[in-house]
Structure 1
Amino acid sequence: MKLAESAWLGVEIRHLSALEAVASERSFSRAAKKLGYTQSAISGQIATLERAVGERLLERGVGQSDATPTPAGHMLLNHAQTISARMHAAEADLSAIRDQRHATLRVGIYQSVGATILPEVVERLRDEAPGVRLELYEAGNERNLSDLVQAGELDVAFDVPPVRPASLHVAELLSDPFVLLLADDVPGRPDLSTPTLAAFKPCAAQAAAEDRLREWGVDPERILRLEDARAILTLVAERACNALLPRLAVGETALPVRRLPPTMPRRTVLLVWHRYRTVPPATATFVQIAQAVSAAYGAAA
Structure 2
Amino acid sequence: MPVLDLRHLATLDAVAVEGTFGRAADRLGYTQSAVSQQIGALEKSVGGVVFDRPGGPRPVRLTPLGEVVLAHGREVLARAAATEDAVERFKAGEGRVDIGTFQSITNVVLPTVVRRLLDEFPAADIRLFEEETDRPSTDGLDLLFFDGPLTGEVEQVKILDDPYVVVARRGRFADGPVPLTALHEAAMVAPPPICDQVRVERVYAEAGVAPLIVFRTADNRGVISMVRAGMGLAVMPMLTLDVPPDDDVLCTHELAPALTPREIYLAWQANRTLSPLATRAIELALHTVRQL
DSSP-derived class of the 1:230 partner: helix
Q: Which amino acid aligns with 1:135?
A: R
Cα pair 1:197 1:218 within 8 Å, conserved: no
Give the equivalent residue in structure 2 for 1:251. Answer: 242
Aligned counterpart in structure 2 of residue 192 of structure 1, from 183, 191, 212? 183
Cα 1:235/1:142, change in 2 over 3 Å: same
Cα pair 2:109 2:288 within 8 Å, conserved: yes
Cα 1:142/1:262, change in 2 over 3 Å: farther
Cα pair 1:107 1:136 within 8 Å, conserved: yes
- Identity of matched residues, %: 26
Cα 1:216/1:167, change in 2 over 3 Å: closer
Cα pair 2:160 2:265 within 8 Å, conserved: yes
Aligned counterpart in structure 2 of residue 287 of structure 1, from 270, 282, 285? 282
Pairwise mapping of residues 224-243 of structure 1 onto structure 2 (< 5 A)?
A: 224-243=215-234
Task: Report which of the two has the higher share of helix.
Answer: 1
1:158 CA displacement? 0.6
Aligned counterpart in structure 1 of residue 268 of structure 2, from 244, 269, 273? 273
Answer yes or no: is 1:296 the counterpart of 2:291: yes
Pairwise mapping of residues 54-203 of structure 1 onto structure 2 (< 5 A)?
A: 103-139=95-131, 141=132, 143-144=134-135, 146-147=136-137, 149=138, 151-152=139-140, 154-164=141-151, 166-183=152-169, 184-187=171-174, 189=178, 191-202=182-193
1:120 CA displacement? 1.1
1:203 CA displacement? 5.4
State the alpha-carbon separation in 1 of the partners of residues 240 and 159 from structure 2.
16
State the alpha-carbon separation in 2 of the partners of residues 269 and 159 from structure 1.
6
Give per-residue Cα distances to partners, 1:151-189, cap 9 Å, x unaligned.
22x21111122412x211111101001111113532063
Q: Which 4+ stretches in 1 moved above 6 angstroms?
A: none
Q: Which amino acid aligns with 1:130?
A: P
Which has the greater radius of gyration?
A: 2
Cα 1:194/1:223, change in 2 over 3 Å: same
1:271 CA displacement? 0.6
Cα pair 2:149 2:263 within 8 Å, conserved: no
1:228 CA displacement? 1.1
Cα pair 1:195 1:240 within 8 Å, conserved: no
DSSP-derived class of the 1:241 partner: coil
Give per-residue Cα distances to partners, 1:102-141, cap 9 Å, x unaligned.
71111111111111111111122122333312111122x3
Cα 1:215/1:274, change in 2 over 3 Å: closer
Cα 1:218/1:238, change in 2 over 3 Å: farther
Cα 1:226/1:122, change in 2 over 3 Å: same
Q: Which amino acid aligns with 2:230?
A: R
Give the equivalent residue in structure 2 for 1:94. Answer: none
Cα 1:121/1:179, change in 2 over 3 Å: same
Cα 1:204/1:138, change in 2 over 3 Å: closer
1:224 CA displacement? 4.0
Cα 1:218/1:234, change in 2 over 3 Å: farther
State the alpha-carbon separation in 2 of the partners of residues 174 and 142 from structure 1.
19
Cα pair 1:200 1:227 within 8 Å, conserved: yes
State the alpha-carbon separation in 2 of the partners of residues 279 and 133 from structure 1.
15
Cα 1:210/1:223, change in 2 over 3 Å: farther
Q: Which moved more, 1:189-198 or 1:242-251?
A: 189-198
Q: Which amino acid aligns with 2:223?
A: I
State the alpha-carbon separation in 1 of the partners of residues 287 and 110 from structure 2.
12
1:192 CA displacement? 2.2
RMSD over aligned Cα atoms = 2.9
State the alpha-carbon separation in 1 of the partners of residues 262 and 193 from structure 2.
10
How many residue pairs end up in the alignment?
193
Give per-residue Cα distances to partners, 1:61-106, cap 9 Å, x unaligned.
xxxxxxxxxxxxxxxxxxxxxxxxxxxxxxxxxxxx9xx7971111
